[in-house]
């Protein structure tokens, strides 16, 4: 589930692979938990018109994709009607086939992102609080290692997860270390976001660890590294002041900032590797990392 706020509107993108079986429009058992979260947001909104738009990838043709996207949009709208408790809310389901992609259909990841149902409604007002939550600094010890392993596709690089910490404002900071356990000098620049893996890529703003993701296998959710309002990643940038090559035995400690839901306590950390021909494959997955 991805949330995209533009102005006073919120668009929630729901992956069809979670909501439906292949080529079907009947909601799966997993869909209910996802739709309940959406219904809570709609209840918090002040809008009365909710748009539900079904989309498909370009597999097959729109003689199949168009009616399937319409049926899926209607299935989601009908279920949300039963979950939303606020009165006076109307739903407008519509299907668009493969005409409105948000990612490149040339990759499996891009096609997966394009198979979606988007629920759009006025953004809920920000909750009123008496005072802003205290922002506590994150203290970490790079000698603490909660998970480690080899980064495949490299020549001797290893990762160490030093910790995943929640701050007072609901954000989560991942602190991890890249180590060269090989016998030759290695680049530490191969962890950026790659369009072949993600279906899209940001404008180039310098090498970074932007490609690292948190994954919740139970909920089938992925949480990307956050970006600033001007597109810079909230993560380590390999500028002049940082090591961008590692000699044998050397290491560098880096970080990424995420915003997983408050009820998520354990995630997998997915680390990319673009070392082999820039393919952007998964280099390592650290499983069962607890958010402290």
Would you state the torsion angle of the CA atoms of residues 155, 160, 165, 170, taken in this order, to the nearest 10 degrees?
20
Question: 92-127: per-residue pLDDT in tens?
Answer: 999 999 999 988 999 988 899 899 999 999 998 876
- pLDDT the model gives residue 186: 87
Give the domains, in start order, of the chain with CATH numbers: 2-122 (3.30.1330.60), 147-290 (2.60.40)
Looking at the predicted structure, is the pLDDT value of residue 278 above 50? no
* Highest-scoring range by mean pLDDT, 85-89, 273-277, 279-283: 85-89
Task: Output 214-217 pairs: Cβ under 8 A, ≥24 positions apart.
Answer: 214/164, 214/172, 214/174, 214/258, 214/260, 214/267, 214/268, 214/269, 214/270, 215/267, 215/268, 215/269, 215/270, 215/285, 216/260, 216/264, 216/267, 216/268, 217/268
- pLDDT the model gives residue 165: 93
- pLDDT the model gives residue 170: 82
- pLDDT the model gives residue 1: 66
Looking at the predicted structure, is the pLDDT value of residue 255 above 80? yes
Share of the chain above pLDDT 90, in %: 50
**Ramachandran quadrant class, 161 (left: phi over 0; alpha: psi -120 to 50; beta: rest):** beta
Q: What is the DSSP string of 211-239?
A: T-EEEETTTTEEEEPPB-TTS-BSB-B--
First CA to last CA distance, the chain = 23
- The candidate with the shortest Cα–Cα distance to 75, out of 27, 136, 130, is 27
pTM of the model: 0.52
Q: What is the mean pLDDT of residues 117-146?
A: 74
Question: 163-215: per-residue pLDDT in tens?
Answer: 999 987 789 999 999 999 999 998 877 787 665 544 444 554 567 888 899 99
Looking at the predicted structure, is the pLDDT value of residue 276 above 50? no
Question: 26-76: per-residue pLDDT in tens?
Answer: 998 889 889 998 999 999 998 899 999 999 999 888 899 999 999 999 999
Handedness of CA 84, 86, 87, 88 (dihedral sign): negative
- pLDDT the model gives residue 178: 93
Share of the chain above pLDDT 70, in %: 85
Q: What is the mean pLDDT of residues 221-246?
A: 78
Cα–Cα distance for residue pair 146/263, rounded to 1 Å:
21
């Amino acid at each position: 589930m991805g949330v995209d706020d533009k102005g006073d509107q919120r668009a929630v993108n729901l992956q069809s692979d979670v909501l439906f079986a292949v080529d079907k429009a009947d909601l799966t058992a997993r869909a209910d938990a996802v739709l309940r979260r959406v219904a809570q947001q709609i209840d918090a909104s002040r809008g009365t018109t909710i748009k539900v738009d079904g989309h498909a990838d370009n597999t097959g043709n729109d003689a199949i994709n168009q009616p399937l996207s319409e049926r899926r949009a209607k299935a989601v709208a009908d279920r949300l009607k039963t979950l939303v408790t606020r009165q006076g809310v109307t739903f407008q389901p519509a299907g668009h086939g493969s005409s409105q992609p948000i990612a490149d259909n040339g990759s499996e990841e891009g096609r997966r992102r394009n198979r979606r149902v988007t629920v759009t409604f006025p953004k809920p007002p920000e909750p009123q609080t008496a005072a802003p939550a205290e922002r506590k600094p994150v203290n970490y010890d790079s000698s603490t290692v909660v998970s480690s392993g080899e980064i495949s596709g490299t020549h001797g690089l290893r990762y160490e997860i030093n910790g995943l910490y929640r701050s007072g404002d609901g954000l989560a900071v991942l602190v991890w270390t890249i180590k060269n356990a090989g016998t030759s000098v290695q680049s530490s620049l191969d962890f950026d976001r790659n369009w072949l893996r993600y279906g899209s890529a940001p404008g180039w703003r310098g090498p970074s660890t932007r490609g690292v993701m948190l994954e919740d296998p139970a909920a089938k959710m992925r949480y990307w590294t956050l970006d600033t309002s001007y597109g810079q990643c909230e993560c380590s940038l390999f500028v002049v002041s940082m090591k961008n090559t590692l000699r044998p035995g050397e290491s560098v400690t880096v970080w990424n900032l995420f915003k997983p839901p408050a009820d998520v306590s354990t995630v997998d950390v997915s680390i990319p590797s673009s070392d082999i021909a820039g393919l952007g494959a998964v280099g390592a997955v650290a499983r069962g990392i607890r958010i402290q």
